Structure 1
Amino acid sequence: MSYGLTVWDEQGNVQMTTDDFTYQVLHSQVYSMSENGGVHVINVSGFDPATCSAVILPTEAASQSQMESTAYGLPYTSLAPGVITIYAVRPGSPPASGYSLLRFRLLVMRFSN
């Protein structure tokens, strides 16, 4: 291996290399949801739910009243190979059930080859 990290034990045996396990960031971008039932369809090359993860990270602190409101809850996420879809309202929910106004970072990582 010409780059990366290798860990050896006391006897000089390789215990771990970046060939064994590593994270690769496939996508990192900030998004905002809207009151009109916004939907974000994000195409991410190489994304596979079996070997990757998608994480929604809020970018702003919420006040106590905002935390008690559904408007600042996490949006609904649907995963498929190559595509991540994020909905402000859970599909099929009645309009009065609430929506997300959250501003967030979508971080997509591959954890296995």
Structure 2
Amino acid sequence: MDTDSFTYQVIHNALYNLSLNPVITVNIPGFSVSNCVATILPTEASTGDYANNALPYMSVAPGVVTVRSKNPGETGNFGSLIKFRLLVMRFKN
């Protein structure tokens, strides 16, 4: 894929920190599960502690992206504490 076959528009680009809040819910007007994508980009290098530096769990719904420090089905108190950029784009073929 390249920009000759589709176009995209960044509709959200912000930094977040899971060590401050284990569940981050971001309202994104215009977000649709059919033509949008959300990506988590870590902003700091891993320190080697697997649980604290793991990629978080993300779920999407119309107008909302939710990032959790761990999968809601997991037991225990361990979860990701990373700082990350949430990049959300809308695309069109």
The answer to whether the superposition gives a TM-score over 0.5 is yes
In the superposition, the TM-score normalised over structure 1's length comes to: 0.72
- The answer for unaligned runs of 5 or more in structure 1 is 1-15
- The answer for unaligned runs of 5 or more in structure 2 is none
Superposition RMSD in Å: 1.8
Q: How many angstroms apart in 2 are the aligned matches of 1:93 and 1:62?
A: 22
Deviation (angstroms), 1:61: 1.4
User: What count of residue pairs does the alignment treat as equivalent?
Assistant: 90
Larger Rg: 1
**Structure 1 residue ranges (4+ consecutive) displaced by more than 3 angstroms after TM superposition:** none
Task: Please state which structure has a larger fraction of its residues in strand.
Answer: 2
Match of 2:46 in 1: 62
Match of 1:27 in 2: 12
Match of 1:51 in 2: 35
Identical aligned pairs, as a percentage? 47
User: Given residue 56 of structure 1, which amino acid in structure 2 is its aligned partner?
Assistant: I
| Structure ranking higher on relative contact order (CA contacts 8 Å, 6+ apart) | 2
1:108 maps to which of 84, 88, 91:
88
In the superposition, the TM-score normalised over structure 2's length comes to: 0.86
Task: Please state which structure has a larger fraction of its residues in helix.
Answer: 1
Structure 1 residue 83 corresponds to structure 2 residue 67: no
